[in-house]
């Protein structure tokens, strides 16, 4: 039986580690886990040792095209193809208003979040073409919504602008590559990761938000990725909980409050009834 082959970038911690952990339990699956510094990825290496027949740790640095190509060569030798690429690696660690924002911080966020996603697509595309049903899935964000994210109660300009660019990039990939299923998936807002913890600590407007367990986020996203096909009819879109996101035209999704309540306006941190990638 042919193995389903996954690549997850940013797999050394948080959502990325959660994705690899969940995928490692699946039968007939091989997972390539990308990390900037594999030697320091203790938890990831422990997981790979436990599932040595399934999990392969690779050095993968966002935006480093030669390094990404080298990782792809390793994947090619082991698997020969990729069925699903999840572009998870990203940063969001500088908080400032438009007047205070340092241009170099904007550049740093775009280099990792946008160029990193672009380079990952460019370098993995030859192996995705070898799959019967290839999927390229970057991690999106509510903060990357121009209409809603810009009103989010946090100074997340660098992160939000870069995620908006990721959403646009995904849409262009979709338009240019009809052979691919590609869409941005929102992991939920305030997933219990190191990045979310830093945001909660730095931004008064984020206080009071209850972090979403990584396992819940991962299970929700994988449920969507598993069932995603290119061009789900628009009529199937309806308001859903964050972890039941459905795609429309492979780049749009609709969400409501993780608590299941109605939104009280765009100022509310859990008001996420939106469509992205239009």
pLDDT tens, per residue, the chain with 278 residues: 689 999 999 999 989 999 999 999 999 999 999 999 999 999 999 999 999 999 999 999 999 999 999 999 999 999 999 999 999 999 988 889 899 999 999 999 999 999 999 999 999 999 999 999 999 999 988 777 787 767 766 688 999 999 999 999 999 999 999 999 998 888 876 676 666 666 666 666 666 666 778 888 898 889 889 988 886 533 332 323 333 333 333 333 333 333 333 322 332 223 233 333 33
Active site residue 163: yes
CB of 194 closer than 8 Å to CB of 202? no
Phi, psi of 105 (to 5 degrees): -75, -35
Beta strands per DSSP E along the chain: 4-8, 29-35, 55-59, 84-87, 135-138, 181-182, 247-248, 252-253
Taking only Cα atoms into account, the Rg of the chain, rounded to an integer number of angstroms, comes to: 18
Choice among 125, 159, 172, 207 that is catalytic: 159
User: What pLDDT does residue 238 have?
Assistant: 30
Choice among 54, 94, 135, 163 that is catalytic: 163
User: What pLDDT does residue 185 have?
Assistant: 86
User: What pLDDT does residue 155 have?
Assistant: 82
User: What pLDDT does residue 217 have?
Assistant: 85
User: What pLDDT does residue 259 have?
Assistant: 30
Q: pTM of the full predicted structure?
A: 0.81
Q: What are the tokens at 135?
A: 């999927």
Active site residue 59: no
C-alpha to C-alpha distance for 259 and 269, rounded to whole angstroms: 11
User: What pLDDT does residue 63 have?
Assistant: 97
| DSSP run (H or E) holding 253 | strand 252-253
30 SS3 class: strand
User: What pLDDT does residue 187 have?
Assistant: 83
- CA-closest candidate to residue 78, choices 16, 147, 7: 7
Mode of pairing for the β-strands spanning 247-248 and 252-253: antiparallel
- CA-closest candidate to residue 83, choices 124, 134, 146: 134
Q: Where do we find the tokens 């590559």?
A: 177
Domains of the chain: 4-212 (3.40.50.720)
CB of 142 closer than 8 Å to CB of 92? no
């Amino acid at each position: 039986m042919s193995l389903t082959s996954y690549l997850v970038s940013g797999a050394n911690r948080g959502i990325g580690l959660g994705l690899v952990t969940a995928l490692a339990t699946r039968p007939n699956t091989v997972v390539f886990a990308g990390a900037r510094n594999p030697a320091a990825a203790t938890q990831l290496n422990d997981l790979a040792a436990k599932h040595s027949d399934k999990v392969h740790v690779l050095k993968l640095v966002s935006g480093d095209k030669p390094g990404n190509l080298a990782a792809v060569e390793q994947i090619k030798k082991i698997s020969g193809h990729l069925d699903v690429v999840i572009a998870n690696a990203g940063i969001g660690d500088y908080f400032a208003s438009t007047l205070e924002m340092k241009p170099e911080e904007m550049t740093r966020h775009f280099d990792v979040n946008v160029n990193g996603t672009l380079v990952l697509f460019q370098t993995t595309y030859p192996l995705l073409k070898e799959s019967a049903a290839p999927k390229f899935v970057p991690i999106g964000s509510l903060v990357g919504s121009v209409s809603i994210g810009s009103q989010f109660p946090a100074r997340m300009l660098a992160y939000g602008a870069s995620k908006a660019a990721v959403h646009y990039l995904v849409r262009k990939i979709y338009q240019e590559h009809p052979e691919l299923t590609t869409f941005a998936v929102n992991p939920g807002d305030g997933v219990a990761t190191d990045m979310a913890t830093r945001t909660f600590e730095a931004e008064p407007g984020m206080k009071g938000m209850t972090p979403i367990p990584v396992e819940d986020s991962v299970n929700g996203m994988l449920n969507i990725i598993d069932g995603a096909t290119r061009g789900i009819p628009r009529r199937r879109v309806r308001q859903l909980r964050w972890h039941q996101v459905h795609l429309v035209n492979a780049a749009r999704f609709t969400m409501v409050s993780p608590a299941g309540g109605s939104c009280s306006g765009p100022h509310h941190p859990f008001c996420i009834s939106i469509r992205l990638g239009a």
